[in-house]
Structure 1
Amino acid sequence: MIKCIIIEDEPLARDLLTRYIQSTDGLQLLGSAEDAEEARQQINSNKPDLIFLDIKLPDISGINFYKSLIHKPKVIFTTAYSEFAVEGFELEAVDYLLKPFGYERFLAAVNKLKTQLESDIDDIIIIKEDKKSYRVKLSSILFIESLGDYVKYHTHEKPYLATDTLKSLASSLPSNFLRIHKSYIVCLDHIEYLEGNRLKVNDQMLPVGYAYRESVSRLFKK
C-alpha cells in the first residue's frame, strides 16, 4: 500500500485528488495540508511514501518546499503552470500533473510510481550488522572493503560492518560492481577517474591490484 499526503491550498483540487486516491487500488490517503507548515508536520508525523504537491503554495513554492525536506518522499507535482515542469523533473519527481487533469492522467502518474517502486525492490540488499538487519540500496554503495572476517560497506549515508567475505559477495552482486583489489569491490557508477593504479571513488583513492588491472583498464577504453 502506497501511503499518500495531499499538499494543496485549493479546496476543489484537494477534493478531486482525494476522490482519485480513494478510487485507486494500492493507494492510502493519510491526510492533506493547505500550506507548508502543516505539510511539514504531516510528513514528519505520517512518513508518507508519496506526496501530491502543488507548486503554488501560499507561503512558499512547492519546489522550494520539497528541496527543504531532509527525508524526501516520492513526489508528484500538480500545478496550472507548465513552465515549472522542467525544474520539477530535475528534482526527480515521479510525474508532473498539469491542471486540469482527469483520472486517466492521474492513474498514469500513479502507475509510473508503481513501476519505480518495483525497480527499487531489485535495488535492495540486506546487511546484517550486530543484531540488526538493514535494507540498503545497492545504488548507494560506493565500495566494499575487506577487513579480515568482516566487510565494510561504504555508502552515501553511513558505513555498515558485516560478517562476510569479498569472495562470497563478488558472485552475488550485480554486474555494475567490480573487484579491483584483494581488499576492494567498487560500484562502477561511483568511479570518478583512474590515475596510475588508483581509482577515485567519491572522496577516496583506492588501489588497483595487479591481478585486476586489465579488467579495470578496459573500463576506460573507447
Structure 2
Amino acid sequence: MNRIMKKQTLLIVDKDCLFRKQLIEELKQNDYPAVIWECSNGLEAIRYINTLQPDVIFLDVKLPGINGFEVLDRTEHSPFVVLTSDCSTYAAKAFEYDAIDYLLKPLTKKRLQTSLQKLGNQSEIVLNSFSKQSTVYPRRILVEKGNRLTSIQVSHITHLKADKDYTWIYTLNNESFLSNYGIGKLMHKLDPHQFLRIHRSYIVNLDYIQELYRDINRFFLTLSNNVEINVGRNYLPSVKELIF
C-alpha cells in the first residue's frame, strides 16, 4: 500500500466486535497507513464521521438503529467508503453511493487486499489532481469521427462521460465523440483549473456549470445545455469549494 502517501484516519463501523478486530488485524498485516477508530452503530457512526472527518470508512450496511445508507445520507463529510455486508443484496445500491468497494463477509485476505488496492488507486487520482500546476494543456484535441480524426476546441467540451473502458466527449453544438481512453486517463490530460471530476463517471467543464441543487439527499449539477448530472459523494468536497 505504498501508493497512499500520508497516514489516514480510518473508521470501522460494524455491530460485530469480532469482525472489527479481524479487520483491524488484517489492516495492520497489510501495513495500511492509518489511525484506526471503531464504533458499533449508526448513530455513533454519524458522530464519529462528523467529528473525526475520516479519510476512509468501512461501513456495515446492516447496523442497529439506522442502516449504513442512512448514515451516509445524514453526514456532510464525504470520506472514501467501503461498504460491508453478509449478503450481496445491496451491492447495486452501494455503488449508487459511490462506494469504492462492496466487501462481503466472511472477510478473506485476498478480497480485502483488492479493496485496499482500489482505495490506493482512488487516493492516487485525488493526489494527482494537485500535481499539474506547471503542465501545458492542449487547446485543441483530435477525436475520431468516422474513419478520420477531427480537431475540436477543448474549451467547447461541456462534459465527459465514462463508458466502461471508453469515454464519451460532448461539445457545445451537441456533438459527441467516443475516445479510446478511460475517463481517469483523460482527466490527467485536461486542465484541472478548467475541468472538474464530479462523479466516477463524469467530468464537467467549469465554464458550463449553471446550477447546483440538492434533491432529498443527493446533489445535482445542471450544465448550460440542460444536462443534469448527479454529484458523487466522494467528489462533493471539490464541488463545494466552488461555493462563495
Q: Which TM-score tier does this pair reach, normalised by the shorter chain?
A: 0.5 to 0.7
Give a deviation string over 1:95-134, Cα, whole Å, max 9, x none: 111111212211110111101111222223689xxxxxxx
Identity, % of aligned positions: 26
Q: Tell me how far 1:205 sits from its aligned partner.
A: 4.7
How far apart, CA to CA, are the structure 1 residues paired with 2:13 and 2:52? 13
Q: 2:209 aligns with which of 193, 196, 202?
A: 202
Letter in 2 for 1:59: G
Aligned length: 157
Measure the CA separation in 1 of the matches of 2:50 and 2:132. 25
Query: How far 1:57 sits from its partner (Å)?
Result: 0.5
- What's the offset of the Cα at 1:192? 7.7
Counterpart selection for 1:109 from 74, 90, 115 = 115
Asked which structure has the greater CA Rg, the reply is 1
CA separation in 1, counterparts of 2:154 and 2:113? 39
Name the counterpart of 1:99: 105
Q: Find out whether 1:189 has 2:196 as its counterpart.
A: no
Amino acid aligned to 1:189:
L
Give the conservation status (yes or no) of the 8 Å contact 2:42–2:66.
Answer: yes
Q: TM-score, normalised by structure 2?
A: 0.55
- Report the residue type matching 1:15 in the other structure: K
Written as runs of structure 1 = structure 2, the 5 A alignment for 1:1-222 is 1-124=7-130, 171-172=136-137, 178-179=154-155, 188-189=159-160, 193-194=172-173, 201-203=208-210, 205=224
Deviation at 1:36, TM superposition (A): 1.7
Amino acid at match of 2:108: G
**TM-superposed deviation, 1:61:** 1.4
C-alpha distance in 1 between matches for 2:24 and 2:79: 18
Structure 2 SS opposite 1:179: helix
Contact 1:18–1:29 (Cα < 8 Å) also in 2: no
| Aligned residue type for 1:123 | S
> TM (normalized to structure 1)?
0.60
Look up the equivalent residue of 1:202 and give its one-letter code: I
AA of the residue aligned to 1:61: N
Q: SS of the residue aligned with 2:18?
A: helix
Q: CA RMSD in A?
A: 3.2
In structure 2, the CA distance between the partners of 1:59 and 1:117, relative to structure 1 (3 Å rule), is: same
Cα 1:62–1:205, aligned 2, differ >3 Å: closer, same or farther?
closer
Change (3 A) 1:6 1:205: closer
Looking at both structures, which has the greater relative contact order when contacts are Cα pairs under 8 Å and sequence separation is at least 6?
A: 2
In the superposition, relative to structure 1, how do residues 205 and 105 fare at CA in structure 2: closer, same or farther (>3 Å)? closer
Q: Which amino acid aligns with 2:8?
A: I
Runs of 4+ in structure 1 displaced over 6 angstroms? 173-177
